[in-house]
Amino acid sequence: MSKTRKDSLFLAAGVLGALGAFSAGLAIGRGLTKSGTTATGLPRASVLDTLALGLDVFAPVVAQGVIIRRPAVVALADKLDLDRRAVQRMQKLRDKYGPGPLMLPLPIRKQAVVLDPRHAQRVLDGSPDPFSPASTEKRGALSHFEPKAVLLSEGAERSERRRFNEAALDTAHPMHRMAAGFLPLVEEEAARILEAAREQGRLDWDVWSQGWYRLVRRIVLGNGAAEDHELQAMITRLRGAANWAGFHPTLRGKRERFLERIRMYLDRAEPGSLAGFMAQIPRNALTVPEQQVPQWLFAFDAAVIASFRALALLDSYPEHLQRAREESAGRAGKPQLPFLRATVLEALRLWPTTPMVLRQSRAPTQWEDGAMPAETGLLVHAPFFHRDDAHLPYADRFAPELWREDWEQGVKRDWPLIPFSDGPAICPGRHLVLMTSSHLLAALLEKHTLRLENRRLDPARLPGTLDNYGLRFAVS
């Protein structure tokens, strides 16, 4: 067994062990199965249910890596179908406790779990006030490489950084203003990926992710960063520390060198890149542009994962593959590619890359069943809402028709499908990333056939977890 694989398995065992010990401690002095309500009327989970939630929902996400994935643990999670177990655990809690929000009897922290679709929408629509995205856990993790990012900011700083992000990422438009410059880069990198895949006889994760990372550096920082593997290594190292949140010391020197490097690219402002585009966007002392960019580099990772899974989805549904091909062939005249965007969105619905959307209430809030104190953490578990087979007929299958209109017309649905979160703190990069990934898929699929070599997905019941690192495609 390789060292990283061993480390990852030890880590998984460690997280589970720590949770077990923590919850056993909780059980002392409280009845194991005693559930009830808080003084103000919200339901409170029993210690046993809290332990089960920790083991089935929380531990697999932490063990797989919140900020950067650990491939060996993702493979294990796939084998054991852990994400399906997580959804089933959440369903049991809803059946037992009703709509909630469900308070957990944790000694060190006020924590609630959102179980009702309307509550999920309320929490996301009520961000950043009173439900702040800058939760304690997120601060602990992301401050390892971007302490002044919008996601960790509040008040006037948040408003200014959000404005800046929206302007730079052109959040309001499905096609970024710089699309005419970015799309040829996508075509070039797709050709390189295909060439490398043909050379080694298959398309695997290494070829795919290396091609993507190059593309991301070119789009965000400029062609001058195409071969900056050192920058990639720097952010990978800092994200590795961020996986441990407050349990890992902050690598201040490394963080400063990383941010210095980003500043260098922003000063260079290469035409045709986001760095060049954002140079003309007004800023002030609160903006701190070089600390907004790490989130972009980091967040593109989700697209690398989701678009590889999207290829696996298309391989499993030949009629949809045909449609994707037709759309790819016409992309010069119709560049918005709604079907391929929907395919990526489906990969994100089925296997959300941000499974835990976290908020922290900054004021007391009132719910149908009772009051919640200020400074309560709220967990919106995206897979529970995305794959709830008790309510959604499409829970476990590929349903691109779900996304037909809403990305274009802003239709509000009555069920939270939230791969990019929702409300005022919704991902400002979603259109840019959907544009990029749909075009990369189009460039690959137009003239090539990619067949999954080592895996068959059951189209009637897609797996709870899909290990993207292990997928391999034959290219012809």
Q: Does 441 bind ligand HEM (CB under 6 A)?
A: no
- From the CB of 44, what's the least distance to ligand HEM, in Å? 25
Q: Which amino acid is at 67?
A: I
Q: Does 354 bind ligand HEM (CB under 6 A)?
A: yes
Q: Does 162 bind ligand HEM (CB under 6 A)?
A: yes
Q: Does 443 bind ligand HEM (CB under 6 A)?
A: no
Binding test (CB under 6 A) with ligand HEM, winner from 145, 296, 308, 403:
296
- From the CB of 460, what's the least distance to ligand HEM, in Å? 26
| Rounded-to-integer distance, Cα 272 and Cα 141, Å | 32
Q: Does 468 bind ligand HEM (CB under 6 A)?
A: no
Dig out the tokens for 266 from the structure: 């922003």
Dig out the tokens for 241 from the structure: 């520390």
Nearer to ligand HEM (CB atom), residue 55 or residue 350: 350
Q: For residue 291, what are the contacts with CB-CB under 8 A and spacing of at least 6?
A: 146, 147, 148, 149, 259
Dig out the tokens for 334 from the structure: 């119709």
Nearer to ligand HEM (CB atom), residue 80 or residue 156: 156
Three-state DSSP class for residue 174: coil
| Rounded-to-integer distance, Cα 207 and Cα 215, Å | 12
- From the CB of 138, what's the least distance to ligand HEM, in Å? 6
Bridge partner residues of 94 (DSSP): none
CA distances to 16, 87, 355, 394, 465 from 387, in Å: 24, 7, 12, 8, 12
- From the CB of 418, what's the least distance to ligand HEM, in Å? 7
- From the CB of 121, what's the least distance to ligand HEM, in Å? 14
Q: Which long-range contacts (CB under 8 A, 24 or more apart) does 232-235 make?
A: 234/258, 234/261, 235/145, 235/294, 235/297, 235/298
Q: Does 299 bind ligand HEM (CB under 6 A)?
A: yes
| Rounded-to-integer distance, Cα 178 and Cα 169, Å | 10
Q: Is the peptide bond before 282 cis (omega within 30 degrees of 0)?
A: no
Q: Does 60 bind ligand HEM (CB under 6 A)?
A: no
| Rounded-to-integer distance, Cα 146 and Cα 231, Å | 15
What is the residue-wise DSSP string for 292-318?
THHHHHHHHHHHHHHHHHHHHHHHH-H
Nearer to ligand HEM (CB atom), residue 101 or residue 352: 352
Per CB under 6 A, contacts with ligand HEM among 125-144 are 133
Nearer to ligand HEM (CB atom), residue 47 or residue 86: 86
Q: Does 429 bind ligand HEM (CB under 6 A)?
A: yes
Dig out the tokens for 48 from the structure: 């046993």
Nearer to ligand HEM (CB atom), residue 112 or residue 475: 112
Please choose, out of 68-76, 113-121, 198-206, 423-431, the segment that lies near ligand HEM by the rule CB under 6 A. 423-431
Q: Does 303 bind ligand HEM (CB under 6 A)?
A: yes
Three-state DSSP class for residue 154: coil
Please choose, out of 225-233, 315-323, 347-355, 362-370, the segment that lies near ligand HEM by the rule CB under 6 A. 347-355
| Rounded-to-integer distance, Cα 251 and Cα 205, Å | 29
Q: Does 435 bind ligand HEM (CB under 6 A)?
A: no
* Beta strands per DSSP E along 316-426: 356-361, 365-367, 370-372, 377-381
Nearer to ligand HEM (CB atom), residue 101 or residue 294: 294
The alpha-helical segments, DSSP class H, found in 359-464 are 382-386, 406-409, 430-445
Residue appearing with tokens 């012809």: 476
Q: Does 302 bind ligand HEM (CB under 6 A)?
A: yes
Which strand (E) or helix (H) includes residue 257? helix 252-268
- From the CB of 456, what's the least distance to ligand HEM, in Å? 25
- From the CB of 288, what's the least distance to ligand HEM, in Å? 13
Q: Does 203 bind ligand HEM (CB under 6 A)?
A: no
Q: Does 425 bind ligand HEM (CB under 6 A)?
A: yes
Please choose, out of 242-250, 354-362, 384-392, 448-456, the segment that lies near ligand HEM by the rule CB under 6 A. 354-362
Binding test (CB under 6 A) with ligand HEM, winner from 245, 251, 348, 435:
348
Nearer to ligand HEM (CB atom), residue 45 or residue 185: 185
Per CB under 6 A, contacts with ligand HEM among 164-193 are 165, 169
How many residues touch ligand HEM under the rule CB under 6 A: the total is 27
The dihedral through the CA atoms of 197, 200, 202, 208 has a sign that is negative
Q: Does 438 bind ligand HEM (CB under 6 A)?
A: no
Q: Does 289 bind ligand HEM (CB under 6 A)?
A: no
Bridge partner residues of 450 (DSSP): 475
Residues that bind ligand HEM (CB under 6 A): 133, 150-151, 162, 165, 169, 295-296, 299-300, 302-303, 306, 348, 353-354, 357-358, 419-421, 425, 427-429, 432-433
